[in-house]
Amino acid sequence: MKEGSSTVALSVPAAGFELPITDQPSARAELDDKVNQAREELVELHRRQEELERQKGELEELRRKQEEYTRGRIEMLDNLTRSLITLEREQVESLRLAETCGKTMAAFRDYKERIEAIRDEDWTSANLRAELTRALAVLHDSRLEYNRARTKLDCLNPGANQPALAAPTAPQPVADQREVLRYLLLGAAASAPLIVAGTLWLIVLVAAR
């Protein structure tokens, strides 16, 4: 009985001595697994961080474009609306101006033809008074039409950016002098019969005395 009990007593310490030896590799493997797992999680977190930063950049770019669209839409709608109103007014004014120009051009052509149709070189002492009256009436009416047109059409009035053409100063007096001389000659021709008759009458009176 003592030997058997001693044998059992010797085997128990041997079994208890081997337990720490078998547990050490298991703990290291578990620690290595945790380290590897932590490393993988860090890699995953880094990947997710890069993905989030990429998404953040895309969202910021999208927001920038959306703000640019909103500003551009408001700006262009305002510009186009105001421009359409201005263009509609300009179109109405242009139509009115075109109608006025058409009527004025027709009137100017008519008076130009009527003035050019005057043949003052064919006037004689017999029809001088009537032709002068008729010609002066045409000139008067054409001048009235021209002055009316100048009040309606700015293009007929030289502005700041459209200086008036310098009127010829030297030839104009010459032309006026020629016209006066021509009318004097016509007047003399018309009065010539009276002058001749008066001269003959004086001669007769002198001879009678």
- Helix/strand/coil (H, E, C) string of the chain? CHHHHHHHHHHHHHHHHHHHHHHHHHHHHHHHHHHHHHHHHHHHHHHHHHHHHHHHHHHHHHHHHHHHHHHHHHHHHHHHHHHHHHHHHHHHHHHHHHHHHHHHHHHHHHHHHHHHCCCHHHCCCCCHHHHHHHHHHHHHHHHHHHHHHHHHCHHHCCCCCCCCCCCCCCHHHHHHHHHHHHHHHHHHHHHHHHHHHHHHHHHHHHHHC
The answer, as to whether pTM is greater than 0.85, is no
Residue 150 lies in a domain: yes
Q: Is 75 within the bounds of a domain?
A: yes
For 153-203, write each residue's pLDDT tens digit: 888 887 634 554 544 454 454 445 566 556 555 555 555 555 655 555 556
Are 35 and 83 in the same domain?
yes
Q: Please determine, for residue 15, whether its predicted confidence score (pLDDT) is greater than 70.
A: no
57 shares its domain with 87:
yes
Q: Per the domain annotation, does 112 fall within a domain?
A: no
167 within a domain of the structure (yes/no): no
Q: Are residues 125 and 183 in the same domain?
A: yes
Domain of 135 in residue numbering reads as: 118-157+179-194
